[in-house]
Structure 1
């Protein structure tokens, strides 16, 4: 059971919605409680919100960037795109249309989106189903069952990605799967041999008893309380690249489904599209009883991205590598509250 302020955001309830007669700012402030439950690299939660009249701006919080793992802030922007999807889904669920635009100010690239409430419109069943999955979605790094997701579901996810301005490639065949898994392992070796990368990673890993509102507790890796206390020191101190690479190679090859999410271009707008598509897929997966986790090493290491693209025979730019399958229940990770991410409000 998770208690304390770091887990209170997961207790957000639609029953506390202020109602459609409340001011737009009050409604949006409540809906931000769902935006902040989006996934992010290392659980950095790299977003800030500010109100501009009755609209809310989504800003990149670059102080929470990962210079070694994400030197272009690409995954940071993808994470913000996932938060944006949650916000827009909440708007629809509570009976409004969304009005707004992406990257509305060329002079301020940190302002990623400006969102407001449109006319009243009743949400459909799929919207409500996805909305209900927001508070249940988890990143599951644990073991999956051998059975694969239904092919029809994966085909639907391919269409979902296109709908959001991205593409999804399902890795088929033993040779293609092995090629992608080898790139995951090669990325592990490149990153873990670098002491700077290990220090960066360790700074976002916390003990199970930490009261931090961000980062990754040891239990999210299946580690007990004592192990979780030692984890940051061990990661900083020891180069276990070969061990990590062997583990991830095996896990990737045995994944029930191995997927690559990509985009036609590689701009901030494309990264936002990728984030929205990613969260759309993750919520469909959660609603369908599926779990997901990530193998982003081949897109974090610049020299591996074109090789990943060649391995799957696609055009464009790979943004996320993930596995999907049927896993057990996992605990939520800490979250910053709306109060902590809302500026000037």
Structure 2
């Protein structure tokens, strides 16, 4: 478990609100003169701002000298929606990319080894703080996008996304070893929206799925550090503690299917991220590609949210592959466009995700 931590900045009167709320982290608090262990602990505040399925934040970290070990926290697995931990590992891949972006911004070259121990499937990566290296303009822009990025579940404006930006996002995904399908044509968007609705209908018909969803939903005013507020589920904050109970009902589920279909049909662009394989290594690759895409999209002032339902239902995932006419494996579905400002979802502080000993 984590231990008490007093940052060096506290001694100089700087704000340390980020110790409990990582969204408050400020780059001027980076302990430039401190040992690598303290620098890496600071950088983890940026890693844990990455997106994750249902905001489960399924990651743990251990710092050893100038190296970070990234572990999958399978105590946060979702047995119904993600029985193979595919989305869990994708989420960890996003945190891994966040950490690399932060490391580059502060002038260090990350050295990464994926799945370094064949005997330990929970150990996803070693990330070493490599030698000093000046950051590029893109490094800085991606870093600034970390705190801009949000998962925006509200309707988007109807205006189109510039083609140049879409092609840049495609190149970003390819750079990380994945593929991207861009779905803009109205007929194609409506067809994909139907697959989203079909998958979600099947999910919502399962009371186990609704219970799992409710377990990671909390009243909007509750000071929870993980999961999603009921407002993200399309419910009023005034429902209070009754909100998660509503999520368990088939009545709410039916309305949610209709809402998500409308979101898909009304978005100017839908994106499908794919990989050539469907293995834990491919999932970790997909997470890094997803994160590069999301950060670059945030830099363009674009909003995004997930519509992964067809990928979560095996039969519908097969239908999606046939519709895409591909042998590759869909890993993530996103909607992209221009959305209104939304607040960030909460995060657990670093001291809650730090390990003192190797994860067992």
Alignment of 1:187-202 (within 5 A): 187-202=199-214
Asked if 1 retains the 8 angstrom alpha-carbon contact of 2:36 and 2:65, the reply is no
Residue 5 of structure 1 deviates from its aligned partner by 8.4
Residue 6 of structure 1 deviates from its aligned partner by 10
For residues 309-340 of structure 1, the C-alpha deviation after alignment (integer angstroms, 9 at most, x for no partner) is: 22123331000011000001001111000000
2:320 aligned with 1:315: no
How many residue pairs are counted as aligned between the two chains? 341
C-alpha distance in 2 between matches for 1:238 and 1:178: 24
Alignment of 1:24-35 (within 5 A): 24-35=36-47
2:33 aligned with 1:10: no
> 1:51 corresponds to which residue?
63
3-state SS of the aligned residue for 1:50? strand
Superposed CA RMSD in Å reads: 1.7
Structure 1 regions of 5+ residues with no counterpart?
none
Stretch moving more, 186-195 or 310-319:
310-319
Alignment of 1:1-345 (within 5 A): 8-19=21-32, 21-221=33-233, 223-344=235-356
> 2:9 corresponds to which residue?
none
Residue 242 of structure 1 deviates from its aligned partner by 3.4
Asked if 1 retains the 8 angstrom alpha-carbon contact of 2:246 and 2:252, the reply is no
For residues 135-158 of structure 1, the C-alpha deviation after alignment (integer angstroms, 9 at most, x for no partner) is: 121100011100021111111111
3-state SS of the aligned residue for 1:69? coil
Asked if 2 retains the 8 angstrom alpha-carbon contact of 1:6 and 1:336, the reply is no
Asked if 2 retains the 8 angstrom alpha-carbon contact of 1:176 and 1:312, the reply is no
Question: Structure 2 length as normaliser, TM-score?
Answer: 0.91
Stretch moving more, 323-332 or 165-174:
165-174
Residue 244 of structure 1 deviates from its aligned partner by 2.4
For residues 41-96 of structure 1, the C-alpha deviation after alignment (integer angstroms, 9 at most, x for no partner) is: 00000000012333110000000011111111000000000000000001100001
3-state SS of the aligned residue for 1:139? coil
Sort the Cα spacing of 1:272 and 1:41 in 2 relative to 1 into closer, same or farther, 3 A: same
C-alpha distance in 2 between matches for 1:174 and 1:330: 27
Asked if 1 retains the 8 angstrom alpha-carbon contact of 2:155 and 2:266, the reply is no
C-alpha distance in 2 between matches for 1:188 and 1:59: 30
Asked if 2 retains the 8 angstrom alpha-carbon contact of 1:296 and 1:321, the reply is yes
Question: Structure 1: which 4+ aligned runs deviate by more than 6 Å?
Answer: 4-7
Asked if 2 retains the 8 angstrom alpha-carbon contact of 1:298 and 1:304, the reply is yes
For residues 155-199 of structure 1, the C-alpha deviation after alignment (integer angstroms, 9 at most, x for no partner) is: 111111111011110014333222211110011111101000000
Asked if 2 retains the 8 angstrom alpha-carbon contact of 1:77 and 1:275, the reply is yes
C-alpha distance in 1 between matches for 2:46 and 2:168: 24
C-alpha distance in 1 between matches for 2:169 and 2:126: 27
Question: Structure 1 length as normaliser, TM-score?
Answer: 0.95
Asked if 2 retains the 8 angstrom alpha-carbon contact of 1:6 and 1:212, the reply is no
Sort the Cα spacing of 1:121 and 1:5 in 2 relative to 1 into closer, same or farther, 3 A: closer
Sort the Cα spacing of 1:178 and 1:6 in 2 relative to 1 into closer, same or farther, 3 A: farther
C-alpha distance in 2 between matches for 1:244 and 1:142: 13
Sort the Cα spacing of 1:28 and 1:6 in 2 relative to 1 into closer, same or farther, 3 A: closer
Stretch moving more, 240-249 or 93-102:
240-249
Asked if 2 retains the 8 angstrom alpha-carbon contact of 1:82 and 1:276, the reply is yes
For residues 222-279 of structure 1, the C-alpha deviation after alignment (integer angstroms, 9 at most, x for no partner) is: 5443134322111113344433222222221221111101111111111111111111
Asked if 1 retains the 8 angstrom alpha-carbon contact of 2:220 and 2:229, the reply is yes
Structure 2 regions of 5+ residues with no counterpart?
1-16
